[in-house]
Amino acid sequence: MGLVGSGGKSPVRSRDCRGLRGAPGPMLLPRHAVAGAPDRRDTASCAGPTRGRMCGWRPAAWCPRAASTTSRAIATASRKVSGQMFSLAYVILPVSDTLPAEAIRASLARFQRGRRGELPEAWVAFHDETDEIREAHEARFEFTDNGTRGMRIGGDGDTFHIDTGKVREEMKRRGVRHWAVRFADEMGLDEFFDRFGSRSRRDPDTGAFGRWLNPLGKWDWWDLGGGFDGTILGERQTGEGRPVSMMSSGPGRGRTILGNIQNALSDALGQEPSAPVEVANDRNIEMVATLLGDAREGRANAYPAAIVLPPDAVEDRLRWLGTRPELGPWESFAWLGLAPEAAWEDIVQAAYRRFRDHWAAAIAYHH
């Protein structure tokens, strides 16, 4: 079968128009991937028994609602799905003999968020967090231990770099359930870090506090389509249920933790878990030339929150074009022939023009 978790047949240059889902033959892309074939949605372009049905990829009456603005499209492509923050990215890839699943994973691998020991050593760099830890050391906090109901935290500081478990242990040692503290009044920065620090480590060369992270990291995990199932086609699937993709980044710590939280909340509220809904692979891929046509017509489905350029097209740090936290990287815009202040509409269309003979996969990524 085509694009599945562990492989599948080579996708391209087949005239089998049955699409990917359930097709026994080597098919991923629509017939328009064939060299010299039309690249638009004109249903009359398809020859043979598929004429008027877009090779099984579109219903004859397909007609998505065009977005009024690209900002609306970006908002649609970056939202909370089931209480979790996901965004939509289109991964652009060349037509080749590489298995689709392998091609998508290989393109996205360099952008996995992670720490030293989780990723290749060459991918991580020291991220200095000394200033943030110093701010936590000097801030004022109010900790209230509510027992089984958790801990209430007040004050003017950020606890991201504080291990609240260690704070609770210190409160037990002191025999208090409420602790108003400014750590700088009670201990030095080094002692604070050793006793209450969380996540960060000390750089043995500089003595700075921080973590070894992937500076190109964008995703914790991803799924083909996911909560944006069908969006790339302008046919987003809606309704009850939990989308389940056969193609994903696989199991991970963050995915497992959030899954356990969701299950616990369902149990606490006496709710049945959401029924799984299969995400079809062929609803979440499209030819870039078709996306270019949609973009020129202002259709929302052509404008994701991020675009990932093909491997080896440009250095990895310039391959992920995104809208969050701000448009960038600007060097990529120059490579596409655009000014640094280019609008997202222009950036997207320039990328599509450059790679119009490629195909794209829509992924929902958690960040």
Q: Residue-wise pLDDT tens for the chain (367 aa)?
A: 344 343 443 343 332 332 333 322 333 433 333 333 333 333 333 333 322 223 333 322 223 333 344 555 655 565 544 445 889 999 999 999 999 889 999 999 999 998 888 899 999 999 999 999 999 999 999 999 998 888 999 999 999 999 999 999 999 999 999 999 999 999 999 999 999 998 899 998 899 999 999 999 999 989 998 889 899 999 887 666 666 777 888 766 656 556 565 566 666 767 776 666 677 788 899 999 999 999 999 999 999 999 999 999 999 999 999 988 789 999 999 999 999 899 999 999 999 999 999 999 999 998 8
How many CA atoms does the CB half-sphere of 207 hold within 13 Å?
Answer: 2
Q: Is residue 275 part of a domain?
A: yes
Same domain, 237 and 312: yes
The amino acid occupying position 223 is D
Write out the two tokens for 269. Answer: 């509220």
- The terminus-to-terminus CA distance of the chain in angstroms comes to 30
DSSP state of 325: S
DSSP state of 162: B
Same domain, 205 and 226: no
Q: Using CA atoms, how far apart are residues 291 and 45, in angstroms rounded to an integer?
A: 17
Contact (Cβ atoms closer than 8 angstroms) between residue 152 and residue 168: no
Domain boundary, last residue among 159, 185, 213: 213
Domain span at residue 109?
A: 67-114+219-366
Domain boundary, last residue among 213, 230, 258: 213
Q: Using CA atoms, how far apart are residues 89 and 255, in angstroms rounded to an integer?
A: 18
Q: Is residue 333 part of a domain?
A: yes
Residue 324's pLDDT is 80
pTM: 0.69
Cα 213 off chain centre by: 17
Q: Is residue 20 part of a domain?
A: no
Q: Using CA atoms, how far apart are residues 293 and 270, in angstroms rounded to an integer?
A: 48
Same domain, 73 and 108: yes
Neighbours of 132 (CB within 10 A): 15
Same domain, 158 and 233: no
All residues at 6 or more sequence positions from 359 whose CB lies less than 8 Å from its CB, including other chains: 28, 29, 33, 92, 93, 95, 285, 286, 287, 288
| Structural domain count of the chain | 2
Domain boundary, last residue among 213, 240, 257: 213
Contact (Cβ atoms closer than 8 angstroms) between residue 74 and residue 55: no
Q: Using CA atoms, how far apart are residues 236 and 354, in angstroms rounded to an integer?
A: 26
